[in-house]
Amino acid sequence: MSDVLKTIKVEKILICTISRPEVMNALNKEVLNSLKDLFEKARENNEIRGIILTGEGEKAFVAGADIKEFSSYGPMEAYKMSEKGQEIFSLIENFPKPVIAAVNGYALGGGCELALSCHIRIASKNAKFGQPEVNLGIIPGYGGTQRLPRIIGLGRAIELILTGKMIDSEEAFRIGLVNKVVEQNELIEESKKILNQIIEKAPIAIEMALNSIISGIEMTKEEGLKLERSNFANLFSTEDMKEGVSAFIEKRKPNFKGK
């Protein structure tokens, strides 16, 4: 694993810490490539059932993209940069296992976009969120203009993106940008607690639920319902479905095996 990502596995949870504290964990090519590598490997690793993403230190989750890295880019280089970032963040968004962003400080620009690509966001009380790209004469390029309105609504997303203002964790919770706000020292434990609640469930059902939600939101209602029907029906061929129903009838805890 790259020096810019620190990982530790706690039972079935992989905790990944973006580690560039000298630049407030800013995203550069190395971080992006390392994230892509991590998620591609974790997809195939049956010992990993969920991922927590966080940043090193108490100041920043990810304070944005590394501005020095792209300051001399022209349109073609910028297009490729955006394309690559979008590809990696879509990989996270479409990951078949739950991903929690444990936002421990500033989540600005690309950092906010990274948090948006995760399935659940838990914030520490000192966290700050924003898409300040217009202050640099650009716009969000890693999916912020698309994911933010889907999560907090069109009007609020337009305001945040056009003003470039920052909001605190309580405001982020109020508008639905984060699921929960906790003390800094409780952030990882709370994220683990939520993931453990999910990990107890049938793995294939979790995967199909994520697929139905994430893919379905991009479809028409009828297309989404068709996808739901298909995923619902396919689960009836799994051993986990039979185990879950038997456990319910027999009033015992199910023993899911991901089959």
Comparing C-alpha atoms, which of 122, 100, 121 is closest to residue 15? 100
Comparing C-alpha atoms, which of 150, 155, 156 is closest to residue 129? 156
Q: How far is CA 175 from CA 140, 167, 191, 235, in A?
A: 20, 10, 20, 34
Q: In 3-state terms, what secondary structure has residue 107?
A: strand
The catalytic residue among 30, 40, 69, 113 is 113
The catalytic residue among 11, 40, 133, 159 is 133
Catalytic residue flag (residue 113): yes
Rounded Cα gap, residues 77 and 141, in angstroms: 12
Comparing C-alpha atoms, which of 8, 96, 88, 90 is closest to residue 50? 96
Catalytic residue flag (residue 186): no
**What burial class does residue 224 get, using C-beta atoms within 10 Å of its C-beta: 0-12 exposed, 13-18 middle, 19+ buried?**
middle
Neighbours of 251 (CB within 10 A): 6
- Backbone φ and ψ of 183, nearest 5°: -65, 150
Sheet with 166-168: list strands edge to edge: 60-62, 106-108, 128-130, 166-168
Active site residues: 113, 133
